[in-house]
Amino acid sequence: MTEAITLIIGANSEIAKALARQVAVKGDTMLIVISRNIDFYQQDIFAHSHAIKVNDYTESEISAAVNKVKEYAGQTIINRVFICHGLLHNDNCQPEKRLEDFSANAFNEIVSVNAISPMLWLKHLTPSLSGKADCKMVFFTARVASITDNNLGGWYSYRASKAALNMLLKSAAVELRRRAKNIKLISFHPGTTDSPLSKPFQRNVPEGKLFTSEFVANQLLDITKQAAVDGELSFLDWQGKNIPW
């Protein structure tokens, strides 16, 4: 008998898949996943999960997906949400090494994935999450979003998009403190984790510092469990340690 729901968005990310696997194996909550690609969720271990396919992360698709989540959830509370979106590079964008590499088009695309889509999920999900029961919402950001910690420079668009997400979440935490005290927001840095996103940048990672997605997922589930519902946005790394803003 499941008494709560775990919702994973951007569920085809390597880290999201590891999270989903661990949640499904434990089996103590219902699992709902949302992604543009749900092939991974056709496996037997997800037989009792619900997978929602979106075409993209525009507001109309997000709104329609949230309606499907509500149908699957019924009266069951959603107590954990993981929003895993992230874009660092693709055919149109590469992390900038110098000012001359900066492109308005690439910046717009990266901000759209890394800041706007997560904010739209928060907007559309909040009415379904508000209530008496605790709900913890984790947004994947990155240590490079820290302005204090930026000693290397570069990666203009990725850094700025994740810092923008942090600021959006900070304002949201202030608002939720008034209207949905049960929701806790966490901005999470997984550490350098073996995935398509980090693949081109793994060469200089020190020995033992390239994490598996299974390790990070396990850490994150513990961190989420321990987080106090305190009306604050926490910016935490994979050890559960605070990252300076």
Binding residue (CB under 6 A) for ligand NAP from 26, 27, 36, 175: 36
**Dist. CA 235–CA 145, nearest whole Å:** 10
Smallest distance, ligand NAP to C-beta of residue 113, A = 4
Q: Residue 159 Cβ, how far from ligand NAP at the closest point, in Å?
A: 11
Find all residues with CB under 8 Å of 131, minimum gap 6, and list them: 77, 180, 182
Q: Does 200 bind ligand NAP (CB under 6 A)?
A: no
- 113 touches ligand NAP (CB under 6 A): yes
Distance CA 166, CA 92 (A): 24
Q: Report the distance separating Cα 245 and Cα 239, nearest Å.
A: 17
Q: For 27-70, what is the HEC assignment?
A: CCCEEEEEECCCHHHHCHHHCCCEEEECCCCCHHHHHHHHHHHH
CB of residue 13 vs ligand NAP: minimum separation in angstroms?
3
| Cβ pair 116, 83 in contact under 8 A | no
Distances (CA, A) of 214 to 94, 138, 145, 210: 27, 17, 23, 12
Q: What residues numbered 46-75 form the site for ligand NAP, per CB under 6 A?
A: 57
**Tokens of residue 230, six digits:** 């305190």
> Where does residue 103 rank: exposed (0-12), middle (13-18), buried (19+ CB within 10 A)?
middle
Using rule CB under 6 A, residue 15 touches ligand NAP: yes
Distance (Å, whole) CA 185 – CA 199: 28
Supply the minimum distance, in Å, between the C-beta of residue 195 and ligand NAP. 3
Q: Does 121 bind ligand NAP (CB under 6 A)?
A: no
Query: Is position 13 an interface residue for ligand NAP (rule: CB under 6 A)?
Result: yes
Tell me the window of 22-30, 68-76, 195-203, 227-235 that interacts with ligand NAP (CB under 6 A).
195-203
Write out the DSSP string of 167-183. Answer: HHHHHHHHHHHHH-TTE
Min separation Cβ 174 and ligand NAP, Å: 23
Q: Does 187 bind ligand NAP (CB under 6 A)?
A: no
Min separation Cβ 81 and ligand NAP, Å = 14
- Using CB under 6 A as the binding rule, whether residue 195 contacts ligand NAP is answered as yes
80 binds ligand NAP, rule: CB under 6 A = no
Among 7, 8, 12, 159, binds ligand NAP (CB under 6 A): 12
Stated length of the chain = 245
- Determine if 95 is a binding residue for ligand NAP (CB under 6 A): no
- In the complex, the residues that contact ligand NAP under the rule CB under 6 A are 10-16, 35-37, 57, 84-87, 113, 140, 142, 189-190, 192-193, 195-198
